């Protein structure tokens, strides 16, 4: 016979867990000394405890484990494992999404060292899916901005607001008038497979210009000015919404000299 402390050491499980298993009827001691209160376990219970530990490692709740241990059958264990397999696959899918988000954030940080900072470049703009909140707002009004972000993220969205995903959009009309403040909509870049119950704007891959600059949204008007001068010089016209994307801000660093913002403007064909 083995005392509870010995069982704890043999199976690397806490005494409190063994007592909890007893209280819920999952694993009762073989014998309890009425005078001393000492609990004793036998080798017959080793296999049961092995089963409990195995199923716990798979993430099964104690209620399910208790039901199985007290009424064991192949059909029951198969059902439990099939249900757990579904949950594990869902968790892997969610972890895959988190992995992609982390990779994207690392890519953004690395792009902050890009030698093209401050230069206007022409090229393909990637296709994007944006969860948007159509509202004219000033990005420098922090109270208004934070409330709008919470509304966008909490209004039925399953895509969490994440560092490096928030941005501001200008409509084609605003670009034509060259009015950059207030912006026309707030957006969150949706990662692959992310969903949103609100309005989603799907932008196809297109050709346009990109300007990546050191600083936050307080420097956007100055940099839009550079873009408008470039368009005049090249005789080009914007086509569709412009995106002002937060890449690195105070969420990443407290050093304002490391802030990074990117502006993308689609261009009309010649």
- With beta carbons less than 8 A apart as the criterion, state whether 248 and 164 touch: yes
First vs last Cα of the chain: how many Å apart? Answer: 88
Query: What are the tens digits of pLDDT across the range 102-114?
Result: 887 788 777 766 6
- Report the percentage of the chain scoring pLDDT > 90: 36
In angstroms, rounded to a whole number, what is the distance separating the alpha carbons of residues 22 and 209?
68
Residue 37 exposure: Cα atoms within 13 Å on the Cβ side:
1
Q: What pLDDT does residue 75 have?
A: 87
- With beta carbons less than 8 A apart as the criterion, state whether 214 and 255 touch: no
Instruction: Return contacts of 38-44, CB within 8 angstroms, 24+ apart.
Output: 38/3, 38/4, 39/3, 39/4, 40/1, 40/2, 40/3, 41/1, 41/2, 41/3, 41/4, 41/7, 42/1, 42/2
Rg (CA), the chain: 29
- With beta carbons less than 8 A apart as the criterion, state whether 130 and 184 touch: no
203 Cα distance to chain centroid:
21
- With beta carbons less than 8 A apart as the criterion, state whether 265 and 242 touch: yes
In angstroms, rounded to a whole number, what is the distance separating the alpha carbons of residues 89 and 59?
13
Nearest to 188 by CA among 91, 253, 104: 104
Query: DSSP string covering 208-234, please?
Result: EEEEEEES-GGGHHHHHHHHHHHHHHH
Q: Over 80: is that where the pLDDT of 58 sits?
A: yes
Report field, pTM of the whole predicted structure over 0.85: no
The tokens of 51 are what? 């089963």
Domains and CATH numbers, the chain: 2-72 (1.10.1660.10), 109-266 (3.20.80.10)
Query: What are the tens digits of pLDDT across the range 75-102?
Result: 888 888 888 888 889 889 888 877 887 8
Helix H segments across 113-159? 142-154
Q: Over 60: is that where the pLDDT of 157 sits?
A: no
Burial string for 239-267 (b: 16+ CB within 10 Å, else e) reads: bbbbbbbbbbbeebeeeeeebbbbbbbbb
- With beta carbons less than 8 A apart as the criterion, state whether 139 and 168 touch: yes
Query: What are the tens digits of pLDDT across the range 208-239?
Result: 999 999 888 889 999 999 999 999 999 999 98
In angstroms, rounded to a whole number, what is the distance separating the alpha carbons of residues 152 and 250?
20
Q: What pLDDT does residue 77 have?
A: 83
């Amino acid at each position: 016979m083995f005392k509870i402390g010995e069982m704890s050491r043999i199976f690397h499980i806490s005494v409190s867990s063994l007592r909890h298993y007893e209280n819920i009827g999952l694993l009762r001691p073989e014998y309890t000394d009425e005078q001393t209160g000492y609990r004793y376990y036998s080798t017959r219970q080793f296999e049961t405890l092995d089963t409990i530990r195995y199923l716990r490692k798979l993430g099964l709740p104690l209620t399910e484990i208790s039901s199985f241990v007290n009424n064991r059958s192949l059909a029951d264990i198969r059902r439990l494992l099939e249900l757990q397999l579904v949950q594990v696959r869902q968790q892997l899918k969610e972890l895959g999404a988190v992995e992609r988000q982390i990779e994207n954030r690392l890519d953004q940080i690395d792009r902050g060292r890009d030698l093209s900072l401050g230069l206007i470049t022409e090229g393909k703009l990637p296709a994007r899916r944006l969860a948007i909140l159509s509202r004219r707002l000033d990005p420098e009004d922090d109270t208004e901005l934070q409330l709008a972000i919470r509304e966008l993220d909490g209004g039925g969205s399953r895509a969490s607001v994440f560092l490096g995903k928030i941005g501001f959009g200008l409509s084609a009309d605003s670009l034509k008038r060259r009015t950059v403040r207030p912006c026309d909509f707030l957006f969150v870049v949706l990662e692959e497979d992310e969903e949103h119950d609100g309005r989603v704007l799907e932008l196809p891959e297109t050709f346009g210009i990109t300007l990546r600059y050191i600083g936050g949204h307080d420097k956007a008007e100055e940099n839009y000015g550079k873009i408008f001068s470039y368009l005049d010089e090249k005789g080009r016209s914007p086509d569709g919404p412009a995106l002002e994307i937060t890449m690195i801000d105070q969420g990443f660093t407290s050093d304002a000299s490391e802030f990074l913002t990117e502006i993308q403007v689609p261009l009309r064909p010649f």
